[in-house]
Amino acid sequence: MKRSSAIIMPLYALPSPHGIGTMGKAAHDFVDFLADAGQSWWQLLPVGPTSFGDSPYQSPSAFAGNPYLIDLDELVADSLLTQDEVDSPDWGDDPARVDYAKLYASRAKVLRLAFERGFARDAEKVARFRAQNASWIEDYALFMAIKRHFGMRSWIEWDDPAIRMREPGALDSYREALADQVDFNVYVQYLFFGQWERLRAYARSKHIGIIGDLPIYVALDSADVWAEPQWFELDERHVPTSVAGVPPDCFSADGQLWGNPLYDYDAMAADGYGWWKRRIAGAAKLYDVIRIDHFRGFESFWSVPYGEKTARHGRWVKGPGMDLVGTLERAFPTLEFIAEDLGYHTPEVERLLDDSGFPGMKVLEFAFDSRDASPFLPHGFVPNSTCYVGTHDNQTLMGWAAEADPADVALARAYFGLNDEEGFTWGFIRGGMSSVSKLFAAQMQDYLGLGAEARTNTPGTLGGNWQWRMLPNQTTTELSERIASMTRLYGRRAS
């Protein structure tokens, strides 16, 4: 990766008249904005289907695309929907927020109309898509069909133990009974990946690469765990024995109980990490650079007994380390990775980062602690690193300035020489843009100077997250020119 810069902007946060950002015109327009702003990269959050809590980091599939992100106007242009059909549902009355309840109530019904008109018409292309994605698409489509059959309950709560345990006779029976719903789920994925390929090709034509997030764990309630339980720490009833989290720290006395099933790394190693190779190959169909979330979990991970209410009673367990990381590097020699190495650091984690050669992350909002020296101050950076103003889990810069200890804000002002004429956010961005890190990234909210109302996610909370959306008139020519000027000044301008 050359010296360059990125803007973090969730796809769902783009403007759209239908309740959520999609892969349609607004996405192509945002690519144009990035190009005009001299950027090299568009950094996204995961684009898989969302489930309870609406988090893109808790998906029913590590491979599928989110049906909400399918652009309905493109389906109108393709004669799969009418304009009235996409305009009639109530998609929400606040263009600055995603209303997931209204999306859930209407989006599948509208896509069902497209399926009824297009499945037979596109039969040959759909069959080819199924064959190309055979390693995951049939299991995912059947899983979602059965999940709907059982009222969207988690698969470990399904009333039929035979299908929960994937007995061959039960699989055949449900495939036959739910064939129409299975075909619908496949067709929706066919639509998603068709639009994604067109968007990605457009980004490439504008010399914009896509950086995507890869959550280290998959959700318990996912087709991945249901279809391939042999790769996870489950008992004979396919119930987890231990789950993921992070230990108590100065921010949380109980730690964080994520609840994801842990990998059976011994079984994976014996198989040559085939599941991980397939997962990375799937991500490579979407992204040009992959940011591995919770990279330190490859060195060692916090294991909490299943059923615990907090993460207090967990323990550290040794991870696969370079055995897995090296396998992935050899399998994907041209793919670039970023290691999200935030959190509890040890010499072993730092050694794994060094051995991998992946750039780690430096977050400027963590840099200013008036009580102690911080490893996130730019004067200590090395080139093989990525500098972020903040991630999706951080406050916006203006929100941080309002909530942080005044002494920390004063330290930031002194360090970066912030002044009212330039503006707080622009001076902060300048400080990161001028660092030696080969990649610099800032959230779109910070370029827009937005406050706490535009925060993407507050970790450890349920509700109110993943909702902020940009308004149509906010990406101005003046803004792109100002970003481009700073990007050029500090040698990050895309050629």
Is residue 251 predicted with pLDDT exceeding 80? no
Is residue 371 predicted with pLDDT exceeding 80? no
**Average pLDDT score over the chain:** 96
- 24-31 mean pLDDT: 98
Is residue 372 predicted with pLDDT exceeding 80? no
**For residue 462, what pLDDT is reported?**
83
Is residue 306 predicted with pLDDT exceeding 70? yes
Is residue 3 predicted with pLDDT exceeding 80? yes
What percentage of the chain has pLDDT greater than the value 70? 99
Active site (catalytic) residues: 293, 340, 393
Return the structure tokens found at 110: 């509208």
Q: Looking at 107-111, 242-246, 269-273, 340-344, which range is the least confident one?
A: 340-344
User: How do residues 37-59 score in pLDDT, each as one tens digit?
Assistant: 999 999 999 999 998 889 999 99
Phi/psi at 240 (nearest 5 deg)? -60, 145
Residue with tokens 């055979």: 134
User: How do residues 433-470 score in pLDDT, each as one tens digit?
Assistant: 999 999 999 999 999 999 999 999 998 788 899 999 99
**For residue 494, what pLDDT is reported?**
67
User: How do residues 332-358 score in pLDDT, each as one tens digit?
Assistant: 999 999 999 987 779 999 999 999 999
Which long-range contacts (C-beta less than 8 Å, at least 24 apart) are formed by 194-202?
195/22, 195/23, 195/24, 195/69, 195/70, 195/71, 195/74, 196/23, 196/47, 196/65, 196/286, 198/23, 199/23, 199/27, 199/28, 199/31, 200/286, 202/28, 202/31
**Alpha-carbon distance 215 to 202, whole Å?**
26
**Alpha-carbon distance 173 to 92, whole Å?**
39
**For residue 495, what pLDDT is reported?**
61
Domains of the chain: 4-81+89-98+190-489 (3.20.20.80)
- 169-183 mean pLDDT: 98
Beta carbons within 8 Å of 457's beta carbon, 6+ residues apart:
55, 392, 393, 465, 466
